Amino acid sequence: MNKILLKTLLGHKFKTPPIWLMRQAGRYLPEYKETRKKAGSFLDLCYNPKLATEVTLQPLRRFDLDGAILFADILLIPNALGQHLEFIEGKGPSLKPIKNFSDYKNLNEVNKIHDILNPVYDAVSNIKSKLEKNITFIGFAGSPWTVSTYMIEGQGSKDHIKTKTFMLQHPEIFDKLILKIEKATVEYLSKQIVAGVDAIKIFDSWAGSLPGHYLEKYSLNPMKNIAKELKKRFPKIPLIVFPRGVGPMYEKFSKMKEFNCIAIDSNIDITWAKNNIQKNSVIQGNLDPAYLVSGGKDLVNKTIDIVEKFSTASHIFNLGHGITPNAKIENVELLIKTIKDKI
Ligand code: CP3
């Protein structure tokens, strides 16, 4: 097996760390924009196996990356559970928000999600058949907490006040919702694995907005349950967790034995992470995506700093969050050259 990313997830260490980038397929690539136009809407792109395959492969044609991430979205689960979803140009996702028990009751049964998600599994097998043998193929889903914020807010939010108020005022309904997303996510990820992904990542992009002990209850525990079930079904498939924004609580997340790797955001100090996290788990991260806009010496120096700090144990190079639409292609090239050629 020559998949160095997969081997690193399993605890091997290479002189040069493997690299992939969150949101490596996306609007900073002109060929993505073209395929996206051809597809019609963003959702049409996600549910078109041929075009989803095309955009998954686009960054690999341009860059010397070690991993491919399935082109899909964390909001396909709410959509598959029956929630109306669209992506509005310049505004982002828009869903019909869940406000009460009757909205919750109207969601589809978990076993119905595949009726909608089948094209995603077709995309996985299609991508699998086209990937070079040295590329690690990553499947993914959102965490129950992060997905619930979109289901309740009905759109992206910075403070998640509606979701947290719902959680505090209607704990019985909220618990049911979290459990339902958890169960749907296990089934969704299991099908991705059967269709051919090599590893799984769970994005908890909004973990950082949960207060106090709720972080453990609604972020950590549901993700742990998902990971436990996946490990029972597929013991060999490595799992990555990304509890973005949890600060010093990263240490606790990194001790979950069910996950092989923890992705750290750009706010985390790399020396602290090396001393407190890397001893518990394989580490992934954590260049700020802004360096891919600004480029130059700063990008080179920061990249070398991250690679050197994490070089004593297993490390996968990545950003601390998704690449932005204004990232420059030449800067992505410079980043990869810096890592692979050690300039
Ligand atoms: O290349 C990849 O990383 C694979 C595909 C991928 C997308 N979204 C494609 C996408 C992945 C892994 C995601 C995850 C995702 N989606 C997250 C978790 C990671 C994170 O960024 O925190 C979240 C929170 C979402 C929800 C989501 N999807 C939002 C809030 C938005 C709108 C914001 C935006 O960037 O426009 C999306 C849209 C989206 N998902 C785009 C892409 C390429 C842009 C849509 C477009 O083409 O217009």
What are the pLDDT digits (tens) for 209-237?
A: 998 889 999 999 999 999 999 999 999 99
Mean pLDDT, the chain, integer: 97
> What does the alpha-carbon distance between residue 149 and residue 159 come to, in Å, rounded to a whole number?
10
> What does the alpha-carbon distance between residue 268 and residue 247 come to, in Å, rounded to a whole number?
7
3-state secondary structure of 243: strand
pLDDT at 343 over 60: no
pLDDT at 126 over 70: yes
pLDDT at 201 over 60: yes
291 touches 302 (CB < 8 A):
yes
Domains of the chain, start order: 4-341 (3.20.20.210)
Report which ligand 1 atom has the smallest distance to the Cα of 201: 12
By most ligand atoms within 8 Å of CB, the mutation choice from 23, 202, 204, 219 for ligand 1 is 23
Burial of 342 (0-12, 13-18, 19+ CB in 10 A): exposed
With a pLDDT cut of 70, the percent of the chain lying above it is 99
The binding-site residues of ligand 1, defined as CB within 6 angstroms of any ligand atom, are: 22-27, 36, 42, 69, 71, 73-75, 87, 92-93, 140, 156, 203, 205, 322
Residue nearest to atom 34 of ligand 1 (CA): 92
Per-residue confidence (pLDDT) for residue 342, from 0 to 100: 66
Summarize the confidence of residues 318-343 as an average pLDDT. 94
pLDDT at 1 over 90: no
With a pLDDT cut of 90, the percent of the chain lying above it is 97
Report which ligand 1 atom has the smallest distance to the Cα of 33: 47
Summarize the confidence of residues 132-151 as an average pLDDT. 98
Instruction: Count how many Cα atoms sit within 13 Å of the Cα of residue 56 in the half-sphere of its side chain.
Output: 33
Residue nearest to atom 8 of ligand 1 (CA): 73
